[in-house]
A and B are shown apart, each in its own frame.
Chain A
Amino acid sequence: MSVSEAAVRERLRTVLTERDEEIADRWVHLQLEQGAFGSSISEMELRGEADALIAALRAGLESSLPVDRVVMSHADLRSAVTEFSMQRARNGAAPTVTSLAVLSLKEALLEAVQRGVQDTSELLAAALMINRLLDAAGALSFDIYVAGREEIISRQSRQLMELSTPVVRLWRHVLAVPLIGTLDTARTQVVMENLLQAIQDHEARVAIVDITGVAAVDTSVAQHLMQTVNAVRLMGADCVISGIRPAIAQTIAQLGIDLSTILTKATLADALAAAVRITDQPEVSGDETAAR
């Protein structure tokens, strides 16, 4: 004898309405037994989460959406699961723990259903439906968790990028940018924007790009350096590259990268000396006449 889906659904809904306290207690108990949170979440908070999720589950079952899609499509239920996972992610719980917590609701729910149902085929149908519902919820919570973490990571890398490209004023009309780490397209863009703006603000005549902290120079890094130098020149300032370590100088020579049009110095001190010399001379007898 098969049991209609509508009847099972109605049964689940009744159980969630009548025995919600019991299910919530049991679920909190199960989670505490798994004991994976340490002391980061109190029993009170767990109970609050449980009440919210169970209420949302009930609302989801009352809607007319098919069971397979109810977790994804029912707004309240989806946001309850989202809120639950985000909360866990913020508290630093592992993603498996978060998913398992959602899945352990199955057990609590099934126990409550079992108490009211004698017929085995009806019980099986109910169990299957609970599975379908909460597996979807578990998968969703995993997705949300990962998305939450990824957002944190991208925010941090953005902050890192902003922090890692300071433009400092070394001397009258002389600016320096100490580059640290790698020089990719996005970094180059940020460095260039900051540097050119600073050149305009400080009326700088020389900009020193110090690459002491750059781990390695390949053709694309060199390309980005050339772009920066050319942009500085278009602004009407001179550019000096300093901090080329012997290993990097060798790499540049081996790769055949042509930096001969750029003034390069071994250390920031040499570059500063050169920059001061350039700025002390009246421009008419400086590089420009030499270049003609």
Chain B
Amino acid sequence: MTSRTPAGVPILRLGNVLVTGVLDELDDRAAQAFTEELTERIAAESVHGVLIDISRLELIDSFVARTLSELTTTARLLGARVVVAGMRPAVAITLVELGLELDGVETALNAEQGMAALGWYHTPRPPAEGPR
């Protein structure tokens, strides 16, 4: 059913982490459907972490911001951590100006660091990396 799986939002499982990337601006209904599917997957697959990559989003409205906050709370109740990765500078500025500070939502600079935050160290870092 298209209403259950919004187009363009695949959810992959890597070990005990669910990885998903929001590719297009979500309208309210798509955001709702996305939340529901993700919540069910968290519960069904008993994962410990969820990574949501939003580096493609150029706009986050108050509804999507609230959805992300609620999703974090929901996931925590189900025993999983949510990391939101790759927010663009312009999006961050807009959210701050709107007063939507996504309280309680963990953030990471990009997907790699987000995965590291979720304890996913499958690409070892060079031990002595000098200043670039």
Contacts and interface: CB of A to CB of B under 8 A. Distances in A.
Interface in B65-102: 81, 84-89, 91-93, 95-97, 101-102
Given A283-B117, A284-B119, A236 B107 contact: yes
B32 interface: no
B118 A199 contact: no
A284 B117 contact: yes
Given A171-B131, A172-B132, A237 B109 contact: yes
Interface centre among A230, A236, A283, by most B CB within 10 Å?
A: A236
Contacts of A237: 109
Contacts of B131: 169, 171-172
Contact of B89 (A205, A230, A235): A235
Contacts of A292: 81
Contacts of B132: 172
B93 A200 contact: no
B17 to A, nearest CB: 12
B108 interface: yes
Among the interface residues B81, B107, B116, B130, which one has the most CB atoms of the partner chain A within 10 A? B107
A236 B102 contact: no
Contacts of A236: 84-87, 107-110, 113-114
A233 interface: yes
A239 to B, nearest CB: 12
Contacts of A169: 131
A276 to B, nearest CB: 11
Q: Is the interface of A mostly helix, strand, loop or mixed?
A: helix
B61 interface: no
Given A171-B131, A284-B116, A203 B101 contact: no
Nearest to A194: B89
A50 to B, nearest CB: 54
B25 interface: no
Interface string A213-251: 000000000000001001111111100000000000000
Contacts of A230: 96, 101
Contacts of B117: 283-284, 288
B39 to A, nearest CB: 20
Nearest to B102: A234
A261 to B, nearest CB: 10
Contacts of A284: 116-119
B113 A196 contact: no
B63 interface: no
B40 interface: no
B116 A227 contact: no
Interface string B35-61: 000000000000000000000000000
26 contacts: A172-B129, A172-B131, A192-B89, A192-B96, A193-B93, A196-B92, A200-B88, A200-B89, A203-B110, A230-B101, A231-B89, A231-B92, A231-B93, A232-B92, A234-B91, A234-B92, A234-B95, A234-B107, A235-B87, A235-B109, A236-B85, A236-B108, A236-B110, A236-B113, A236-B114, A283-B108
Given A200-B89, A234-B102, 7 more contacts: A192-B96, A200-B88, A231-B95, A234-B95, A234-B96, A284-B118, A288-B117
